[in-house]
């Protein structure tokens, strides 16, 4: 009996359209993720798309999404008997409860498991596709798929099946089951958010997270690429225990369902009966309004009433449907979770300002209105027919237009309501986070209105497609096809807004600049597709099936008469408007501006490299002085630049050619004059000019080049609207308008896949450390040390800023003109800015500290000033003189998120630092850190610049990290540094797995951020800790002295490594310097046991058992053991280091002791009993596992 | 007055549902009798402007129904054979919504309409209950109520008493009779008693064609003296079928009574029976069946 019930259920569910829809959906999702060259799953980099790690991650994530599907199947088992009315018949047969219930459950679970096979199938098939880069694939081994499916996916599917099966037996309705799903999802998200950032909860969540994701993450988080590509999730340890725990929970749920389920139906309880009687009584007491003759109908006067009533009715039906409730709920929880738990940097959140919140909503909520538009398009169109109300409705005197119009309006109304709900939720979160500046106008004009128009177009398309389709499911399938097609076309860059329905122009948001970058253009495109939607709506109206037995053909037959009616006139008017709008848009996007697809841009860069990279080693004269006249016209988005560049031949040999190029393709070159030279080659397309000196430029000979350029945004572009030259918050650096000398690698194609595609060598590697000739070139673009004299003009209501001391500042008419002259050499790589700023200023020791910001972003201005002052205090005392009399921090629009250091000037994105929420003292104050880092660059980059070869960034970025760390330590103290260092260590270890080419030691780093920033911070801290802060600073000050403002030969990492080696006092220190700077060294230090006893004389003797290892790693992450012999901190504490309240008082003893490889015991005598013991408790070493350094002490 | 001329309908899959139906239906109750599958519902839907026939003309007064269906809809009340319900809507709101759809613009008018009708069909007490939970009879009553909104001049009710218990059926028929005088009401059914009780005129539709038309009492007269009835045992039925023109068999308290059509007294225990509409109906169907058998043979 069981077998036949099971088999029947299996066959029944397999014929359920849900099964096929789900199978297709998950197949397509996975297939797209695997085979699309632009979408990356997992960490990317060197991890193969079909590696066991990638397969495992994909399966885990999709199992979570799959819970909606499993619920559909298992809840159907319980619910369908009652809903179809077949229940009493089945239940009065001889079938036993076990066979019936568990047999059906087994069938439904089996079907879910089969449906999920779409995922591994899609991964496998995706990997076979010819267009996938073979470098990103490994061997397809069945065991990888099987391991992930059976160990990771199937238990999760079993869990959700049995859990929601139990829920369905309680609620007995589909709606109730899905509410259960939503609640589960909410709890799961909250659990995830609470445990995500706390490393102490990692083990707990590995057991508690039901899908095995946390356990898998815990086991593999530090895996390098080679491990990810070859190792499967181990079937033991935490992962196995997790699976067993949740298997047990699943069986418990199943048992619960079994015991709860009853064959007989329950009647109403006595109390419910009484309640019903009372309600009926109350109702009966009301007296009806009776007339003898019924009022007549007045159809002519009823048009408006009908429209309103139909609209309201359709909308109410949607609002009351359980599916809508659930969709909105999920959308809300997804976005509320994102809003609440978003963190900017180092776990520190940002203030939930409106522009910021809106971009989060756009990412996390907007998929749901899309689903609603498609789903309810179908529901609304087919409801009358499905409910068999269509005969009643179609035979009333309701006019034809009143079928389509209310449904279309209802879709719009529902979408509008959904978006408004998300706004309310967002404002709720803002309130809960303590931010009450509600900018309703921004919510409305930046989010609700534009999205309503866009989603409404989609909704009307959905209605149109449904009006054409023979049934609802075909209509949905067509809409899904449309969605997939849109995504695919976007990926392959066929997404010009004029031919891809629903495509728009991206509008980046900013408080400084509003929507001004592309807002107008975006609205034109919305108008364009909006008109088209109206045409679609009219089409839907014409094709509408009223009555029974109507076919598309008969509707088409009526078209000629329709064209002559009022709707025909409207259609023609719309067509005219559509074409007119299209022409206007085309003029902007393709005539006034150039429309370049991503592929053709890549082609351009490849050609550029093929033609000009050969010149990169030609020695060019250096710039010595720049005089510029820059005119900013913010309202017109026009920028005029003219200037003189003085150069000197410092190459030691005659120079025959000067290569002059303009790097930014939007720049218009008006003129370039170089006396005594002829223009031999002028490539206007690439803006590359080669001048030949009539007589070669002799060594030490000088020449002056003059130029004029214009940069302007005319009309709007389909994409690539200028975010640098804007109405408020212009931020241009000289590369974007001034000429550069000589060829550079800046901006060329980096990724291997496109490089191979265009027949370029796979990689452009930096010059090796040993390459002496490379020391003649600097690494920051082609920038030399110059003296600058810059005059900037802008409109009178803005303030212009450029490097240099402010020499004059006057407002003449509606223009404001300011002149800046540098008093010491600056790197010829600087920025000019113009905006309507608020300013906060302080003066100290002859330096003017100023912060220029958008007046509402005043939260951290004082923190920034404090940080700048503290930084310069430290640097002046320890590194040497600060070369400027000003220190400026400038806010720029949040179109990019970074901070940068120019000469005495630190531009800071509005999305960084300015809106950081530091009110919770527990969070890491990254504002101070980043400010200190950027001011560190005033020394490390703007006084000393390194050569363009391996290890160059060690001297610039790593030293800036070091500078920032020292500033933080001087403010917060050594004991608090641990939390910060742990972040940096974690991020370094995590990022190693995504390395695409090869990892390198610090002295050979090739601009790899995770090495020179993250590892650099940890390494530098350890070095100064071992060798002494003052001694290190003295060595660095000396280095700065030698290279300050010097041109070739430039400093290289060899200088720094030699400097540290000179500070080493014994063998272990020398070995440490080599290990940290010249090798990739990873340690594994842990306390295996710690016990304390009281000695006879009242002291406390602690015995700590330690296991220590040291490994050297190669570029791909393969490790070999190495002997360890070093002096490492051993500490005893009364509180756990790393927690926010840990302070100096909690340190009982901390001392370095000699440690060797393997196990060893250390005995420490102290006056107080310790609670914690640790080796390298502050995580100064690069430790594979930084959580096992500390242990509680046993008595 | 409703006039059908040569109405023919062939479905896209080839089924010939109606062939050359020509009818004149004056004011008052008109009964359309026919077995299941006769084409009654197709005809009803065609008149109710839900379908256009492949051939033929339909006029209602001055209105050419096929060319200007919207004009007929303004005067139409239609109770389909099979209709469903919207979920989560109560009877009051749904009837109010139907009133809006039928063009009753003023809120006061609608209130009067809805409340009067709900009271008339005895749904006043359950007006706030969801229609989805109504029993079959209650749903049917709702259907009638909505058909009566706005004083239609043409009311079409398709199989209205199917599924109603005897008391409900009586109440329903009384309701129709009340309205019956000044309005064209077409009652399409396979229950002969409904037509016999109510309709001064009727027609029989079978196999897509009009088989019979006229006033019931006239049609019954035509069969006077030709209907004979006899009580027999079940085993003798087959034998009697062969020997006589059996038009109906009935079970009463366990015995089988057969009615046969014969111009003369067939003797053999047969007694003269006073014909009823049922006999007219069954004899028409029997004749039809025999004709078909003959053409087939």
Task: Check: CB of residue B73 under 8 Å from CB of residue B24.
Answer: no
Task: Check: CB of residue A370 under 8 Å from CB of residue A935.
Answer: no
* DSSP-derived secondary structure for chain B: -EEEEEEEEE-TTS-EEEEEEEEEE-SEEEEEE--TTSSHHHHHHHHTTSS--SEEEEEETTEETTT-HHHHHTTEEEE-SS----TT-BHHHHHHHHHHHTT---HHHHHHHHHHHHHHTT-STTTTSBGGG--HHHHHHHHHHHHTTT--SEEEEESTTTT--HHHHHHHHHHHHHHGGGSEEEEEES-HHHHHHH-SEEEEEETTEEEEEE-HHHHHHHTTT-EEEEEE-GGGHHHHHHHS-EEEEEEETTEEEEEEE-SS---TT-EE----HHHHHHHHHHHHHHHHHHHH-
| CB contacts, 8 Å: A397 with chain B | 70, 73-74, 76, 101-103
| Residue B297 contacts A, CB cutoff 8 Å | no
Average pLDDT over residues A412-429: 90
B220's tokens: 């019954």
Element spanning A1113, H or E: strand A1100-1113
| CB contacts, 8 Å: A317 with chain B | 86, 88
Element spanning A625, H or E: strand A622-633
More confident residue, A1193 or A90: A1193
Residue A411 has pLDDT above 80, yes or no: yes
Q: Which of residues 379-418 of A touch B (CB under 8 A)?
A: 383, 387-389, 391-399
3-state secondary structure A359-424: HHHHHHCCHHHHHHHHHHHHHHHHHHHHCCCHHHHHCCCCCCHHHHHHHHHHHHHHHHHHHHHHHH
For the stretch A822-852, pLDDT in tens is 999 998 888 999 999 999 999 999 999 999 9
| CB contacts, 8 Å: A288 with chain B | 115-116, 118-119, 124
The confidence score (pLDDT) of residue A342 equals 66
What is the distance between the alpha carbons of residues A92 and A902, in angstroms, rounded to a whole number? 83
| Residue B229 contacts A, CB cutoff 8 Å | no
Distance from B144 to chain A by nearest Cα, in Å?
A: 11
A42's tokens: 């997992």
Average pLDDT over residues A689-718: 93
Average pLDDT over residues A1128-1149: 84
In terms of Cα–Cα distance, which of A705, A714, A709, A706 is closest to A687?
A709
Task: Give the count of beta carbons closer than 10 Å to the beta carbon of residue B40.
Answer: 25
pLDDT band with cut points at 50, 70 and 90 for residue A524: very high
Average pLDDT over residues A600-604: 87
B171's tokens: 């109440």
What is the distance between the alpha carbons of residues B253 and B35, in angstroms, rounded to a whole number? 26
The confidence score (pLDDT) of residue A624 equals 92
3-state secondary structure of A939: coil
For the stretch A191-230, pLDDT in tens is 877 776 666 677 888 888 899 888 888 888 777 777 777 8
3-state secondary structure of A551: coil
3-state secondary structure A1122-1160: ECCEEEEEEEEECCCCCCCCCCHHHEEEEEEEEEECEEE
A288:B115 CB<8 A: yes
A293:B125 CB<8 A: no
For the stretch A987-1036, pLDDT in tens is 898 888 778 788 999 999 998 999 999 999 999 999 999 999 999 999 99
Residue tagged 């009372």 (tokens): A278
Percent of chain A with pLDDT over 70: 95
pLDDT band with cut points at 50, 70 and 90 for residue A862: very high
State whether the Cα torsion A30-A33-A36-A37 is positive or negative.
negative
Average pLDDT over residues A322-342: 74
| Residue B11 contacts A, CB cutoff 8 Å | yes
In terms of Cα–Cα distance, which of B176, B190, B171, B179 is closest to B151?
B179
| Residue A313 contacts B, CB cutoff 8 Å | yes
Task: Give the count of beta carbons closer than 10 Å to the beta carbon of residue A733.
Answer: 18
The confidence score (pLDDT) of residue B185 equals 92
Mutual angle of helices B136-147 and B91-101, in 10-degree steps: 30
A136's tokens: 């990103």
The nearest alpha carbon in chain A to B87 belongs to A317
Distance from A550 to chain B by nearest Cα, in Å?
A: 7
| CB contacts, 8 Å: A291 with chain B | 112-113, 116
| CB contacts, 8 Å: B106 with chain A | 295, 298
For the stretch A117-141, pLDDT in tens is 999 999 888 888 777 767 777 788 8
For the stretch A960-998, pLDDT in tens is 999 999 999 898 877 667 778 888 888 898 888 778 788
Distance from A269 to chain B by nearest Cα, in Å?
A: 19
| Residue B236 contacts A, CB cutoff 8 Å | no
Q: Mention every residue, 6+ apart, whose C-beta is less than 8 A from residue A324.
A: A318, A372, A376, A414
Task: Check: CB of residue A643 under 8 Å from CB of residue A738.
Answer: yes
**Site from B18, B75, B105 to mutate, A interface, most A CB atoms within 10 angstroms:** B105
Q: Mention every residue, 6+ apart, whose C-beta is less than 8 A from residue B296.
A: none
A329's tokens: 């709920």
The confidence score (pLDDT) of residue A808 equals 94
The confidence score (pLDDT) of residue A696 equals 92
What is the distance between the alpha carbons of residues A907 and A889, in angstroms, rounded to a whole number? 6
Average pLDDT over residues A949-958: 91
Distance from B257 to chain A by nearest Cα, in Å?
A: 36
Mutual angle of helices A97-116 and A237-260, in 10-degree steps: 140
Q: Which of B50, B103, B127 shows the shortest C-beta gap to A302?
A: B103
Distance from B221 to chain A by nearest Cα, in Å?
A: 38
The nearest alpha carbon in chain B to A281 belongs to B125
Which residues lie across from A1081 on neighbouring strands?
A: A1112
Q: Is A649 exposed, middle or buried (0-12, 13-18, 19+ CB in 10 A)?
A: buried
The nearest alpha carbon in chain A to B96 belongs to A309
The nearest alpha carbon in chain A to B119 belongs to A288
Q: Which of A317, A397, A549 shows the shortest C-beta gap to B103?
A: A397
| CB contacts, 8 Å: B17 with chain A | none
Mutual angle of helices A1067-1078 and A1053-1063, in 10-degree steps: 160
| Residue B85 contacts A, CB cutoff 8 Å | yes
| CB contacts, 8 Å: A549 with chain B | 11-12, 50-51
| Residue A1192 contacts B, CB cutoff 8 Å | no
Torsion of CA A481, A482, A483, A489, to 10 degrees: 110
pLDDT band with cut points at 50, 70 and 90 for residue A36: low
CA A290-A292-A298 angle, to 5 degrees, is 90
User: What is the separation of C-alpha A665 from the centre of its chain, rounded to a whole number of angstroms?
Assistant: 27
Select the highest-mean-pLDDT range: A125-134, A746-755, A1080-1089, A1113-1122. A1080-1089
A305:B105 CB<8 A: yes
Pairs of CB atoms within 8 A across A/B: 140
Task: Check: CB of residue A26 under 8 Å from CB of residue A117.
Answer: no
Q: Which of B85, B117, B150 shows the shortest C-beta gap to A387?
A: B85
Residue A44 has pLDDT above 70, yes or no: no
Average pLDDT of chain A, as a whole number: 87
DSSP label of A725: S
The confidence score (pLDDT) of residue A40 equals 47
Parallel, antiparallel or unpaired: strands A1100-1113 and A1158-1166: antiparallel
Task: Check: CB of residue A979 under 8 Å from CB of residue A199.
Answer: no
| CB contacts, 8 Å: A389 with chain B | 83-86
What is the distance between the alpha carbons of residues A746 and A1190, in angstroms, rounded to a whole number? 46
The confidence score (pLDDT) of residue A41 equals 45
Percent of chain A with pLDDT over 90: 45
3-state secondary structure of A844: strand
What is the distance between the alpha carbons of residues A922 and A639, in angstroms, rounded to a whole number? 45
| Residue A82 contacts B, CB cutoff 8 Å | no
- Using only C-alpha atoms, chain B has a radius of gyration, in whole angstroms, of 21
The confidence score (pLDDT) of residue A43 equals 46
Least confident of A186-200, A440-454, B91-105: A186-200
Phi, psi of A146 (to 5 degrees): -65, -45
B149:A393 CB<8 A: no
What is the distance between the alpha carbons of residues A261 and A525, in angstroms, rounded to a whole number? 56
DSSP label of A209: -
pLDDT band with cut points at 50, 70 and 90 for residue A729: very high
Task: Give the count of beta carbons closer than 10 Å to the beta carbon of residue B133.
Answer: 12
Distance from A290 to chain B by nearest Cα, in Å?
A: 5
Distance from B19 to chain A by nearest Cα, in Å?
A: 18
pLDDT band with cut points at 50, 70 and 90 for residue A42: very low
Provide the b/e sequence for A591-612 (b: ≥16 CB within 10 Å): eebeebeeeeebbebbebbeeb
What is the distance between the alpha carbons of residues A1060 and A1037, in angstroms, rounded to a whole number? 13
B115:A549 CB<8 A: no
Q: Which of residues 142-161 of A touch B (CB under 8 A)?
A: none
pTM, full prediction: 0.83
The confidence score (pLDDT) of residue A871 equals 96
Q: Which of residues 20-79 of B touch A (CB under 8 A)?
A: 45, 48-52, 70, 73-74, 76, 78
For the stretch A333-385, pLDDT in tens is 777 777 776 666 666 788 889 998 998 888 777 777 888 888 888 889 998 88
What is the distance between the alpha carbons of residues A973 and A376, in angstroms, rounded to a whole number? 59
Residue A576 has pLDDT above 50, yes or no: yes
Q: Which of A299, A387, A395 shows the shortest C-beta gap to B48?
A: A395
Q: Which of A288, A291, A392 shows the shortest C-beta gap to B83?
A: A392
**Site from A281, A318, A396 to mutate, B interface, most B CB atoms within 10 angstroms:** A396
Half-sphere exposure of B285 (CA within 13 A, CB side): 18
User: What is the separation of C-alpha A306 from the centre of its chain, rounded to a whole number of angstroms?
Assistant: 47
A302:B105 CB<8 A: yes
pLDDT band with cut points at 50, 70 and 90 for residue A765: confident
A123's tokens: 């991964």
């Amino acid at each position: 009996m069981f077998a036949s019930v099971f088999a029947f259920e299996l066959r029944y569910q397999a014929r359920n359209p849900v099964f096929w829809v789900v199978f297709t959906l998950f197949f397509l999702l996975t297939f797209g993720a695997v085979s699309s060259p632009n979408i990356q799953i997992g960490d990317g980099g060197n991890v193969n798309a079909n590696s066991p790690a990638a397969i495992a991650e994909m399966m885990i994530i999709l199992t979570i999404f799959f819970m909606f599907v499993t619920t559909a199947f298992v809840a159907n088992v319980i619910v369908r008997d009652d809903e179809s009315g077949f229940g009493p018949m089945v239940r009065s047969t001889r079938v036993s409860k076990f066979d019936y219930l568990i047999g059906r459950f087994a069938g439904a679970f089996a079907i879910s498991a089969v449906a999920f096979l779409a995922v591994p199938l899609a991964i496998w098939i995706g990997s076979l596709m010819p267009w996938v880069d073979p470098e990103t694939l490994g061997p397809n081994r069945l065991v990888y798929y099987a391991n992930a499916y059976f160990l990771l996916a199937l238990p999760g599917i079993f869990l959700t099946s049995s859990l929601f099966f139990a829920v369905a037996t309680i609620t007995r309705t589909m709606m109730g089951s899905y509410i259960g799903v939503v609640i589960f999802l909410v709890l799961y998200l909250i659990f995830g958010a609470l445990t995500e950032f706390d490393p102490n909860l990692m083990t707990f969540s590995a057991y508690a997270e039901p899908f095995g994701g946390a356990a898998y993450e815990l086991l593999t988080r530090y895996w390098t690429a080679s491990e990810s590509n070859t190792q499967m999730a181990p079937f033991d340890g935490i992962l196995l225990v997790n699976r067993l725990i949740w298997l047990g929970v699943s069986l418990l749920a199943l048992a619960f369902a079994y015991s709860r389920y009853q064959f007989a139906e329950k009647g109403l309880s006595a109390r419910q009966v009484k309640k019903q009687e009372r309600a009926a009584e109350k109702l009966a007491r009301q007296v009806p309004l009776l007339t003898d003759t019924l009022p007549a109908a007045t159809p002519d006067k009823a048009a408006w009433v009908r429209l309103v009533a139909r609209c309201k009715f359709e909308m109410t039906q949607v609002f009351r449907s359980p599916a809508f409730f659930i969709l909105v709920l999920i959308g809300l929880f997804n976005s509320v979770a994102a809003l609440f738990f978003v963190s900017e940097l180092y776990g520190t959140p940002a203030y939930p300002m409106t522009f910021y919140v809106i971009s989060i909503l756009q990412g996390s909520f907007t998929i749901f209105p899309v689903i609603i538009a498609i789903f309810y398009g179908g529901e609304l169109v087919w409801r009358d027919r499905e409910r068999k109300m269509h005969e009643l409705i179609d035979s009333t005197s309701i006019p034809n237009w009143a079928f389509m119009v209310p449904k279309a309006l209802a879709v719009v109304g529902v979408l509008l309501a959904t978006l408004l709900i998300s706004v309310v939720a967002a404002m709720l979160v803002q309130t809960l986070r303590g931010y009450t500046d509600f900018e309703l106008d921004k919510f409305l004009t930046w989010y609700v209105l534009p999205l309503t128009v866009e989603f409404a177009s989609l909704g009307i398309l959905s209605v149109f497609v449904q009006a054409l389709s023979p049934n609802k499911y075909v209509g949905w399938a067509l809409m899904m096809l449309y969605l997939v097609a849109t995504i695919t076309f976007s990926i392959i860059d066929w997404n010009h807004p004029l031919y891809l329905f629903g495509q728009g122009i991206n509008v980046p948001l900013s408080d400084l600049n509003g929507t001004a970058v592309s807002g107008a253009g975006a609205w034109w495109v919305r108008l364009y597709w909006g008109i088209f939607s109206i045409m679609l709506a009219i089409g839907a109206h014409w094709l509408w099936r009223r009555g029974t037995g109507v076919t598309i053909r008969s509707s088409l037959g009526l078209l000629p008469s329709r064209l002559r009616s009022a709707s025909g006139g409207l259609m023609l008017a719309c067509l005219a408007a559509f074409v007119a709008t299209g022409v206007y848009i085309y003029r902007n996007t393709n005539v006034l501006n150039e429309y370049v697809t991503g592929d053709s841009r890549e082609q351009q860069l490849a050609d550029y490299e093929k033609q000009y990279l050969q010149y990169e080693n030609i020695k060019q004269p250096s710039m010595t002085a720049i005089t510029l006249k820059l005119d900013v016209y913010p309202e017109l988005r026009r920028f005029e630049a003219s200037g003189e560049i003085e150069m000197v031949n410092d190459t030691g040999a005659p120079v025959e050619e000067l290569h002059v190029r303009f790097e930014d393709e939007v720049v218009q070159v008006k003129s370039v004059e170089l006396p005594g030279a002829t223009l031999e080659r002028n490539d206007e397309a690439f803006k590359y000019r080669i001048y030949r000196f009539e007589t070669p430029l002799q060594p030490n000979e000088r020449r002056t080049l003059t130029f004029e350029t214009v940069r302007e945004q005319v009309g709007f572009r389909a994409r690539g609207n200028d975010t640098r030259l804007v109405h408020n918050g212009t931020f241009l650096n000289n590369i974007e308008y001034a000429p550069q000398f000589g060829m550079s690698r800046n901006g060329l194609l980096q990724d291997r896949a496109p490089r191979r595609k265009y027949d370029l060598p796979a990689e452009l590697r930096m010059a090796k450390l040993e390459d002496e000739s490379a020391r003649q070139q600097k690494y920051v673009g082609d920038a030399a040390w110059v003296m600058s004299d810059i005059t900037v003009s802008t409109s009178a209501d803005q303030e212009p800023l450029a490097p240099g001391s402010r020499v004059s500042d006057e407002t003449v008419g509606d223009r404001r003109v300011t002149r800046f002259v540098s008093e010491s050499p600056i790197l010829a790589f600087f920025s000019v800015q113009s905006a309507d700023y608020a300013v906060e200023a302080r003066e100290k020791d002859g330096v003017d500290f100023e912060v220029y910001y958008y007046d509402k972003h005043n939260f951290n201005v004082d923190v920034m000033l404090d940080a700048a002052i503290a930084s310069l205090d430290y640097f002046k005392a320890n590194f040497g003189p600060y070369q400027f009399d000003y220190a400026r921090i400038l806010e720029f629009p949040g179109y990019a998120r970074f901070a940068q250091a120019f000469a005495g000037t630190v531009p800071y994105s509005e999305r960084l630092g300015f809106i950081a929420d530091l009110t919770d003292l527990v969070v890491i104050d990254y504002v101070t850190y980043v400010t200190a880092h950027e001011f560190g660059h005033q020394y490390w980059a703007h006084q000393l610049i390194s050569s363009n070869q391996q290890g160059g960034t060690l001297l610039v970025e790593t030293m800036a990290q070091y500078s920032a760390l020292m500033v933080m330590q001087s403010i917060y103290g050594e004991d608090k540094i641990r939390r910060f260092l742990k972040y940096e260590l974690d991020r370094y270890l995590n990022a190693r797995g995504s390395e695409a080419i090869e990892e390198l030691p610090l002295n050979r780093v090739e601009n790899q951020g995770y090495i020179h920033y993250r590892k650099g911070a940890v390494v530098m801290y350890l070095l100064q800790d071992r060798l002494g802060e003052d001694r290190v600073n003295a060595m660095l000050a000396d280095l700065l002295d030698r290279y300050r403002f010097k041109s070739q030969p430039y400093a290289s990492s060899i200088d720094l490594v030699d400097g540290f080696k000179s500070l080493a006092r014994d063998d272990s220190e020398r070995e440490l310097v080599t290990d940290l700077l010249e090798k990739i060294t990873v340690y594994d230090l842990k306390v295996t046991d710690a016990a304390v006893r009281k000695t006879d004389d009242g002291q406390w003797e602690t015995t700590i058992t330690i296991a220590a290892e040291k490994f050297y790693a190669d570029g791909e992450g393969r490790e070999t053991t190495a002997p360890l012999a070093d002096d490492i901190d051993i500490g005893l504490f009364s509180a756990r280091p790393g927690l926010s309240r840990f302070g100096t008082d909690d340190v009982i003893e901390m001392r370095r002791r000699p440690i060797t490889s393997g196990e060893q015991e250390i005995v420490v005598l102290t006056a107080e009993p310790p609670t914690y013991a640790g080796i390298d408790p502050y995580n100064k070493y690069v430790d594979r596992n930084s959580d096992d350094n500390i242990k509680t002490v046993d008595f | 007055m409703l006039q059908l001329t040569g109405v023919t309908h062939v479905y896209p899959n080839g089924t010939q549902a109606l062939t050359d139906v020509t009818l004149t239906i004056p004011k008052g109750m008109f009964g359309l009798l026919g077995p299941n599958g006769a084409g009654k519902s197709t005809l009803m839907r065609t008149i109710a402007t839900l379908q256009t026939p492949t051939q033929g003309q339909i006029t209602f007064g001055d209105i050419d129904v096929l060319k200007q269906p919207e004009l007929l809809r303004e005067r139409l009340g239609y109770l389909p054979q099979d209709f469903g319900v919207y979920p989560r809507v109560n009877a009051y709101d749904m009837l109010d919504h139907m009133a809006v759809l039928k063009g009753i613009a003023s809120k006061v008018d609608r209130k009067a309409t809805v409340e009067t009708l709900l009271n008339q069909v005895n749904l006043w007490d359950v007006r706030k209950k969801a229609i989805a939970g109504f029993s079959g009879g209650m749903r049917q009553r709702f259907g009638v109520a909505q058909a009566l909104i706005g004083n239609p001049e043409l009311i079409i009710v398709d199989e209205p008493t199917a599924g109603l218990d005897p008391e409900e059926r009586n109440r329903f028929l009384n309701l129709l009779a009340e309205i019956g005088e000044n309005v064209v009401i077409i009652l399409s059914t396979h229950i002969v008693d409904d037509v016999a009780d109510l309709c001064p005129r009727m027609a029989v539709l079978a196999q897509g064609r009009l088989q019979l038309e006229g006033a019931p009492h006239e049609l019954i007269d035509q069969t006077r003296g030709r209907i004979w009835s006899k009580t027999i045992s079940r085993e003798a039925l087959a034998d009697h079928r062969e020997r006589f023109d059996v038009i109906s068999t009935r079970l009463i308290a366990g015995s089988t009574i057969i009615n046969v059509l014969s111009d003369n007294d067939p003797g053999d225990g047969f007694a003269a029976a006073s014909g009823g509409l049922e006999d007219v109906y069954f004899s028409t169907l029997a004749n039809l069946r025999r004709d078909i058998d003959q053409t087939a043979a």
